[in-house]
Amino acid sequence: MAGPVVRFDAMAGRAPGPLALVQDFVNTLDVEEQTELIGTPEALGAWLGERGLGGGSRVTPADQVRAIELREALRRLLVANNGGQRREADLGLLNLVATESGLRPQFTAEGGVRLLPSAPGVPGSLGSLLAAVSEAMTQGTWHRLKACAEHGCHWAFYDRSKNRSGHWCSMEVCGNRAKARQFRERRRGEGTASPSA
């Protein structure tokens, strides 16, 4: 199965550090191409193993369903990071998955603290993803990870613009589509306007 298309432009791109793993996870579904990388328990197990998350763990159908639920909740939160509506149910799911993964603080020799999951298998793997989300929220980088504003895309991208004003994963593709659609709608509106007396 082919991987998702890379859609980054100069102002948007790859998230830094562990947040890149969250970005990759959200992009396991290419909405536009309808390409699903974790559509079976086996595919999820392979994806997690390739990234050092839960290598060798047996993945059940219930694990795969939970992973998809988490991915889509994260995608909706990334839409909210791009001006969309935030749903409390999505935050509730993140809290539930965090509890299932047994996320706990671990103090480091460098004087910091990080979250680590205590649950084995897929729950622990999903907890590692949520630990990266928590770290990004603490560092202030979370709001730069967004889902493309183009409805048929919703590709996760990292907004590197100075004022966090990026809306599309690619200005050349999704940005141009949106602008062309807005232009057509304005023209259509001008064509139906009644002439003034």
Rounded to the nearest 5 degrees, what angle is found at the Cα of 162, between the Cα atoms of 156 and 167?
Answer: 35
How far apart CA 71 and CA 129 sit, in angstroms, is 10
Q: Which helix (H) or strand (E) is 119 found in, with range?
A: none
Q: What is the pLDDT of residues 19-65, one digit of tens each?
A: 999 999 999 999 999 999 999 999 999 999 999 997 667 999 999 99
The strand pairing partners of 114, in sequence order, are: 106
Q: What is the pLDDT of residues 129-158, one digit of tens each?
A: 999 999 999 999 999 999 999 988 999 999
How far apart CA 125 and CA 109 sit, in angstroms, is 24
**Pairing between β-strand 145-147 and β-strand 113-116 as defined by DSSP bridges:** unpaired
Residue 83, helix vs strand vs coil: coil
Whether the CB-CB separation of 154 and 34 falls below 8 Å is answered with: no
Residue type, 28: T
Domains of the chain: 12-192 (1.10.3300.10)
